[in-house]
């Protein structure tokens, strides 16, 4: 099941990337690449076997108790997580609030302002020639106004949070 999820995420990311490259869905390349990376990682993680808890281990706590109990009895929750490592409920809570923050931030500043700020700095730094500056601005403005960018923005952020958590977890083993 976990392998199928990884393959589905990978294929959706590949489709988004291709549609973004051929300009059918402007602004879909970055979310597509993010989905490709998440799909590859999810597929790779599906080969890791889950460890069996010892016979005298307490039963796993329900996800609601893990999410709420972390605030008022963290020792018991972490002891249970040591025996039954589960991360999906916590990740869903983080992803939910990250998506809400992303949507409200973009609504407040507008997508054009967010997209054009780094482009202006790039033009000022001389990385983009002056004769192409207007075309790059217009292309960036068009991609920022795209409804695809509004939908895939929070999804891209969630994908990068997932990858960052995996990198941090991998670094904890070093």
Provide the residue ranges of all domains of the chain, joining segments of one domain with +: 2-49+87-172
Per-residue pLDDT band for 56 (boundaries 50, 70, 90) equals: confident
- What pTM was computed for the model? 0.71
Burial class (CB within 10 angstroms; exposed 0-12, middle 13-18, buried 19+) of 23: exposed
CA dist., res. 79 & res. 22, Å (int): 51
> In this predicted structure, what is the pLDDT of residue 12?
93
CA dist., res. 16 & res. 78, Å (int): 39
> In this predicted structure, what is the pLDDT of residue 15?
94
Q: Residue 2: is its pLDDT beyond 80? A: no
Q: Are 34 and 59 in contact (CB under 8 A)?
A: no
Q: Residue 50: is its pLDDT beyond 90? A: no
CA nearest neighbour of 11 among 42, 25, 41, 32? 32
> In this predicted structure, what is the pLDDT of residue 29?
85
Q: Residue 57: is its pLDDT beyond 90? A: no
Please give the average per-residue pLDDT across 114-123, as a whole number. Answer: 87
Per-residue pLDDT band for 28 (boundaries 50, 70, 90) equals: confident
Tens of pLDDT, residue by residue over 3-24, are: 898 899 999 999 999 998 998 8
Cβ count near 39 (within 10 Å): 21
> In this predicted structure, what is the pLDDT of residue 131?
85
């Amino acid at each position: 099941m976990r392998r199928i999820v990884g393959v589905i995420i990978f294929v959706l990311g590949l489709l988004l990337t291709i549609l973004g490259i051929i300009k059918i869905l402007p602004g879909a390349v970055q979310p597509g690449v993010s989905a490709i990376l998440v799909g590859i990682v999810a597929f790779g993680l599906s080969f890791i076997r889950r460890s069996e808890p010892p016979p005298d281990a307490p039963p796993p706590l329900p996800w609601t108790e893990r999410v709420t109990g972390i605030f008022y009895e963290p020792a018991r929750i972490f002891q249970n997580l040591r025996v039954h490592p589960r991360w999906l409920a916590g990740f869903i809570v983080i992803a939910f609030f990250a998506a809400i923050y992303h949507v409200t931030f973009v609504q407040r500043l507008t997508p054009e302002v967010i997209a054009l700020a780094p482009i202006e700095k790039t033009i000022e730094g001389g990385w983009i020639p002056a004769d192409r500056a207007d075309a790059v601005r217009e292309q960036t403005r068009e991609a920022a106004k795209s409804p695809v960018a509004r939908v895939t923005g929070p999804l891209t952020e969630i994908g990068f949070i997932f990858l960052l958590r995996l990198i941090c977890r991998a670094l904890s083993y070093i």
